[in-house]
């Protein structure tokens, strides 16, 4: 039996969708949103702006509101599996922390 390569797995399991974290409902079409809700098992949300000269409204839409909308979508996902992600960066403390805001049980990480 031939063993699958990483590229084979990605090609078989990853379906690109068009969206925009600064738009309502993450800019997803109704069909794409439903497909994600019905099929996704793992979410890696990495959308953000790191431009320090970006207008404040744009930065808030991407870095705060976009995360909130992604969490809302993830809560609707029927097959989502919660996993703990350890980063290779020593400054990330991924031990349970008290969140400064009520995020309804989402994981908070603090950087030092």
**Cα gap 108→48, rounded to integer Å:** 17
11-20, 76-85, 89-98: which is most confident:
11-20
The overall average pLDDT reported for the chain is 75
How much is the pTM?
Answer: 0.64
Smallest CA-to-CA distance from 79 within 33, 104, 42 is with 42
Q: Over pLDDT 90: what percentage of the chain? A: 20
Measure Cα distances from 112 to 19, 34, 49 in Å. 32, 38, 20
39-81, pLDDT tens digit by residue?
998 887 777 888 888 888 888 878 888 888 988 999 999 988 8
CA atoms within 13 A on the CB side of 82: 6
Q: List alpha helices for 3-65, DSSP H.
A: 6-13, 30-39, 56-60
């Amino acid at each position: 039996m031939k063993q699958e390569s990483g590229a084979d797995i990605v090609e078989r399991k990853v379906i690109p969708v068009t969206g925009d974290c600064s738009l309502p409902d993450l800019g997803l079409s109704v069909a794409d949103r439903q497909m994600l809700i019905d099929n996704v098992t793992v979410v890696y949300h990495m959308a953000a702006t790191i431009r320090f000269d970006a207008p404040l409204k744009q930065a808030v839409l991407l870095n705060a509101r976009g995360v909130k909308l992604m969490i809302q979508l993830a809560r609707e996902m029927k097959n989502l599996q919660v996993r703990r992600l350890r980063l290779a960066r020593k400054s990330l403390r991924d031990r349970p922390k008290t969140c400064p805001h009520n995020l309804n049980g989402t994981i908070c990480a603090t950087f030092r």
